[in-house]
Amino acid sequence: MRTIRKWLTCPAAPKVFTALAVLLAVNVLIAVMMISHAQKTFLDQLRFRLLDVCNSAAALIKGEDVAELTEEDIGSERYDRVLGTLRIFQNSIDLSYIYAVDAGKDGVFRYTIDPDPESPAGFGAEIETTPALLSAASGVPAMDTEIDSDEWGTFYSAFSPIYDTRGNIVGIVGADYEVSALRPYLTRSYLLIAAVTGISMLSGILLGLHILRLSAVMSDNIE
């Protein structure tokens, strides 16, 4: 106990404690920045993946196959062609849902084709209008930066326009990625950041104690 008291009262103690406080603040700041960067990196990667899926699917779908679809078209040759294309993406790519939406000419967007085998959206069911959906309707593929929730879950969603041979937007491909699927990746990143921050702090504390010990020894020798 006397030894510890000597360390804490040695001439170098105030400077060491100040340095440790600064080290703690810097580590917390770096950890926050790293977490923010990790989240942005994952969202950028997800945006690239979802937009790539939507753009690829939209490019493979003939605009004439989705133009002016009605419920009576279900089971028709053109309906089944689009359904088959979407189903390929649904079954072979890591995403939650992919589907076709009409062009929203009346200001309301509706599902037209959903290949989900368990709980597909009904033909004509309204889909929530989001900034990314409006962007796709105007010709610019986009992913929503805000999470969207509906009866199927909580997702990040992206959309891409479908064109006919005359260059008109006649439909939209949408793709969803379940937010919960991102948690394992983010959790690993957070644990790594916490480990690095902890090691840095522990190293600083050990170095500070070593400096205090040396300062206490030198003070005893002078006395």
Write the pLDDT tens digit of every residue in 58-97.
Answer: 999 999 999 888 889 898 999 999 999 999 988 877 778 8
What kind of fold does domain 52-183 have according to CATH?
Beta-Lactamase (3.30.450)
With cut-offs at 50, 70 and 90, classify the pLDDT of residue 189: low
pLDDT in tens, 11-40: 656 666 676 677 777 777 776 777 677 667
Q: Is pLDDT of 211 > 70?
A: no
Start-to-end Cα distance in the chain: 20
Is 44 or 79 the better-scoring residue by pLDDT? 79
Burial 119-147 (b: 16+ CB within 10 A, else e): ebbebeeebeebebbebbbeeebbbbeee
Strands 111-113, 97-101: parallel, antiparallel or unpaired by DSSP?
Answer: antiparallel
Q: What is the token pair recorded at 182?
A: 């991102």
